[in-house]
Amino acid sequence: MFLKQPDTPNFRSPPKSLALRAHSLLVERVRLVVSTDREARLGLHEFTAAGKTYKFMQVVLGSGAPRRVLLSAGIHGDELAGVEALCEWLESHAYTKFLHRWDITMLPCLNPWGYEHDTRENGDGRDLNREFNSSHPPQEVRFVQSVLQEPFDLSLELHGDEDSAGYYLYETVQPGADIGHRVIEQIHTIMPVNLDATIDGKSANGGVIARPLEPGTHSWWPMARYGFAQGIPCSLTLEAGRSPLQMQVQAHLQAIETALGLCS
Ligand SMILES: [Zn+2]
């Protein structure tokens, strides 16, 4: 989604009407689940943003399965549903049924400062999902890039778009793969799908925007473009439309389960 706030490059002040969210509480929430499951491991990677120390979370579930998936959320700090969906998926242990087929890596909150301050950008006013081909990427992006040095078969990135009345997704896949439409088909029962021919200024078909694969067509790279260049054959950037938070969460959970089921 695009900012509703004034379009200043160094937007630092949180909206006064919104209480700060504590990223440390999110870490404790994830730590609690991981402590109860022998299949789960939590890595914490410290960094400092705007004078405060945060810990990136990297959760790894299972080991030795034939395929590897990366689930990520919160690269835009004001898009809560993805973060919440990954936490709920973890807390419900819904992932266990996939562990015979998938090793799962989760990055539940990629922009801790933005999460706490309810902003799309990080503490330096940078949109992290525009920085993956930057010559000096922000530390949050460098962290994701380090994770993407490992091989993955699938990447699911959870976002939200308050400007959209329904769910849609960006598909970055090898030619011939048509996973996006099959994921979207399973969303209809939870929330409307955005069936517009143009979404976010791009051509769409049935709620799916196909990302061009040639690097030259992007002046800036989102995470999915970088992942594709690293060899991930399929990335879906999932955008929950404007709706109550729990509806967005349920739609994201359905998309995760569908994608993992289809690709097993
Ligand atoms: Zn987003």
DSSP state, 188? T
Q: How far apart are CA 88 and CA 22, in angstroms?
A: 17
Distance 79 CA to ligand 1 centre (A): 6
Distance 64 CA to ligand 1 centre (A): 31
Helices 80-91 and 245-262: crossing angle, nearest 10°?
60
Strand partners, 72: 107, 157
Q: What pLDDT is recorded for position 14?
A: 41
The answer for residues whose C-beta is within 8 angstroms of residue 180's C-beta and 6 or more apart is 169, 171, 173, 208, 210, 236
Q: Are 36 and 73 in contact (CB under 8 A)?
A: no
Residue with tokens 């040095």, as numbered in its chain: 149
Residue with tokens 């991981």, as numbered in its chain: 34
Q: How far apart are CA 222 and CA 234, in angstroms?
A: 14
Q: How far apart are CA 166 and CA 14, in angstroms?
A: 27
Q: What pLDDT is recorded for position 15?
A: 45
For 32-76, the DSSP string reads: HHHHT-TTEEEEEEEEEETTEEEEEEEEEE-SS-SEEEEEEE-SS
Q: Which CATH architecture has domain 39-262?
A: 3-Layer(aba) Sandwich (3.40)
The answer for residues whose C-beta is within 8 angstroms of residue 126's C-beta and 6 or more apart is 138
Q: How far apart are CA 151 and CA 236, in angstroms?
A: 16
Mean pLDDT, each 10-residue run in order, the chain (264 residues): 40 45 95 94 93 95 95 97 97 95 98 96 96 95 97 97 97 86 96 96 95 74 93 96 97 97 80
Distance 3 CA to ligand 1 centre (A): 10
Q: What pLDDT is recorded for position 115?
A: 97
Distance 180 CA to ligand 1 centre (A): 17
Q: What pLDDT is recorded for position 206?
A: 96
Q: What pLDDT is recorded for position 86?
A: 98
Return the structure tokens found at 171: 């598909």
Q: Which amino acid is at 215?
A: P
Distance 240 CA to ligand 1 centre (A): 9
Q: What pLDDT is recorded for position 11?
A: 37
Distance 101 CA to ligand 1 centre (A): 28
Return the structure tokens found at 135: 């010559």
Q: How far apart are CA 240 and CA 160, in angstroms?
A: 4
Q: Which amino acid is at 205?
A: N
Domain boundaries, the chain: 39-262
Q: What pLDDT is recorded for position 216?
A: 62
Distance 58 CA to ligand 1 centre (A): 19
Q: What pLDDT is recorded for position 219?
A: 82
Distance 84 CA to ligand 1 centre (A): 14
Distance 66 CA to ligand 1 centre (A): 30
Distance 33 CA to ligand 1 centre (A): 26
The answer for residues whose C-beta is within 8 angstroms of residue 75's C-beta and 6 or more apart is 110, 111, 128, 129, 140, 144, 157, 159, 223
Distance 160 CA to ligand 1 centre (A): 5
Distance 252 CA to ligand 1 centre (A): 13
